[in-house]
Structure 1
Amino acid sequence: MNKMKILKFGGTSVGSLDALKNVKSIVEKEFKQTEPLIVVCSAFYGITNSLLLAADEALTQNDFSEILKVAEDRHYQIIAGLLPRTSQNPLLMMVKVSFNEIEDILFSVKNLGELSGRVKDRLLAYGEQMSSKINVTYLKAENFPANYTDAREFIVTDSNFGNVSVDFIKTYENLKNWNLENQIYVVTGFTAKDKNQDTTTLGRGGSDYTAAILGSGLKAAQIQIWTDVDGFMTADPRLVKNAYSQPELSYQEAMEMSYFGAKVIYPPTMIPAIESQIPIYIKIRFRIFEYFHCSAVGNPDHIDFDLMIFFKVFLFSFQLTK
């Protein structure tokens, strides 16, 4: 029986020194020497928004240098806080090269007065790449057998930049050929590629989707989404004083709540999870808040096909409203 786990850490879960050290503790708890562990990383908190803001400034012929400087310095500060000075140079160089490339892209946007979907996706992918490389270097420094993996090696989409659809046949074929060893694989969230090898992105919140795609393609035992919110609440806690986290929901309930505004999980995440009958756990600080299950879990002969149709119609309507 496959006991592999997929752990996804969102921006706030990797957004500070304390958060990154917490990630290390979680990985240490979950990693078993007999099974590979997949760790999906988002960009550091706020970095994707900074890149978008810088792109908007470039497009409107404004100065974007200060936005980039703040974002770049943030990465340097995290590196300095995580690693001894003797281990920092490769990462410092990686961040410098990345921001030089980002700057080149933005100067092109400013000079041309145009920001295509292709260029925008390429730009936004830098956040996840830098975050994942920093995380894997930190884990290695803590003596974990960790490897950096770019999701673009496996996840293939169409070329509808900004609103892509995943080519699951090709993606799962790629994942089937992934020669996994008993190590920790730190994977870039949010990013993919098209058939022309151009970078694409899976939508804001798409790192959840990355985790579910990997979980389904690798036939993982479970997917864990680590976040800073208390799972799916019975009501908006800002409006209802005694609102509480629901310990268990069906996929349909979770999908409906996501549609109506519960920003706990990226809605397309449900599709590969339910198709492969993989439970999703929403966790915060080592505490399980939610458990999603499909009615067909444990018995593939009883898949609820009406539920599958509901999800695919939901996903289509979700894409139309993005």
Structure 2
Amino acid sequence: MDGTTAEGTGGGPDADALARRFDADRGHLRAVAYRMLGSLGEAEDAVQETWFKLGRTDVSGVANLTGWLTTVIGRVCLDMLRSRGSRREDPLDHFVPDPLVHVPGFGDPEHAAELTESVGLALLVVLEALSPAERLAFVLHDMFAVSFDEIAPIVDRTPAAARQLASRARRRVQDADPGPGPDARRQREIADAFLAASRGGDFEGLLAVLDPDAVLRADGGPLLAGASKVVRGAGAIMRQAVMYASFRKASLAVVANGRPAVLSVVDGRPASLLAFTVVGDRITQLHVLSDPERVAALGIPEEALALAVPPE
């Protein structure tokens, strides 16, 4: 149970069965929480709190336990978002959500597929700008098919008002989210072309793969606050040569939220992540995460880090 036990449900065969049932839904609940919170650590906390709530509740009359758990974790995440909003100090403009990183050839195939199909960082950035109620209504309804009748009591609204929340969120997402890009192989080719051009100082090569209105978000966290910035436009992004310096050394090709990314490796440890959003044949968004604590928590296997090599 990843640290949880069936003790809260009173023990016995029924408690064991409920624990197994919760484990079967754990991946789904983690997916809901990650989309709601954009934070891997907070998502795990939300799953844990949902387990505790299950242990304190008589669910013998619940016909659809997965649906019940989904609404419970939605309420937990809503409370966490509201609490976060009241104490948040870091600007949202350069915030990069926690990426889900997979190293091809490493890890469980089923888990790798889950990471590859996850929501992109570009969409998570848009979700971060929504109000907590808008985010919950959109995530639960549009991503997990929860009805507005079920969403309404969570946000203390009528079903019609909950529908309006999701509609407002949907319009903002459609305006800002780039949608699906080309196939994974083509996206990787474009990302590699960007890296090769940046390493060689090939400005024409960079212009060829950057969308004119491309946006770069760099998040250094509290320890590297000076590295945090937002850069808009292909020309301005091209001038950020110092930002790509670490990726000219030992690096590892990875997948972040289903999109191409590269991890810089220094002294055998992950140092920073550069993730790409590709639409058509152009890079529209770049996300750089260099927050030492969050990069260290990406969970990259040591044997994968050992494969990082400097470019030829």
TM-score, structure 2 length as denominator? Answer: 0.27
Q: Decide which structure has the larger Cα Rg and report it.
A: 2
Superposition TM-score, scaled by structure 1 size: 0.26
Is the helix fraction higher in 1 or 2?
Answer: 2
